[in-house]
Structure 1
Amino acid sequence: MEIILKEDIIGLGFKNDIVNVKSGYGRNYLIPQGKGVIASESAKKVLAENLRQQAHKLAAIKDAAQQKADALAGVALTISAKVSATGVTYGSVTAAHVAEELKKLGHDIDRKIIIMRDIKKVGDYVATIQFHKEVTAEIPVTVVAENAPVVAAPVVEEEAPAAAVEEQTEETAE
């Protein structure tokens, strides 16, 4: 059964898309909830006319989504989780955890538009955020152990003070 979606439905499609669904799903859920209409020839013509008239509005929506994606360009997340001795997390790191970390950084992103598998081990992963059907952003996510020892950077002594100390020792020797 072909349905024209009236709103974005995660996992199915975006507003004004024509999708094929099973008859029961369309008849019993999408149409009664007002989330879609049957894609008859007349409905397709009306949709085409509406899309033609709303082209500039759709371009503005896409630009807004692109700006949100550009704001996340340099963002990389590090999420700490409780980990067993074998490197397996207790529980899993989900899209909700990623959304929470992004909120701490000042980016209010709905967890439903974050696409990723549940993370169950320590390591580096990628979360994809789909702002618009043509605009996505990929964010690197690093999962680390909560009680992992922090490796300190090696301390490098500056050569300028050492040279000044050598000059002072030569002057005192004279």
Structure 2
Amino acid sequence: MNQETDRERWQRNFADLLQELRVAQTGVQILFAFLLTLPFSSGFPDTTDFQRDIYVVALLAAAAAAAMIISPVAFHRVLFRQGRKPDLVRFAHRMASGGLGFMLIAMVSSVLLVTDFILPRSVAFVLSGVTGIWFLTFWVGLPFVHRSWVRDDDDEWSDDAQIQLLRDPTR
């Protein structure tokens, strides 16, 4: 099996993080754009004070998520060609995690805003709570449960190790 160097591992980790950030960035940008246009829609004047407060929470959380998820790009520009890939990967990991946290707040707040506008408030709270639990299940619960199933030194399997396991599951 091919052993990667520390430099190759950091480069692979950074490439993996960039792919993850691309997915998250698209989602947060779409939500942020929707929230930015909402006050200009014809129904917005009909919102209650509570709904406007929830809107502000959702908008600010989406802005914070966008800032954190995009920040590794700026960090990379500043550290470019300084041989500090480990610092970049650690920073990007923290920013991605924080950005996902703010995205969770933005998503649940957006669901609460919309459902409170069209449904009774009690139903809106229940649906928003279920939405939050749903996100936490897939973003936190399942990854941590799966993480404890199989572990190796790097907490990740190389592509070669995964291919070997698929070819011979008894290994």
Range class of TM-score, shorter chain: under 0.3
Rg larger in structure: 1
Identify, as 1 or 2, the structure richer in strand. 1
- Relative to the length of structure 1, the TM-score reads 0.21
Greater relative contact order (Cα < 8 A, sep 6+): 2
Identify, as 1 or 2, the structure richer in helix. 2
- Relative to the length of structure 2, the TM-score reads 0.21
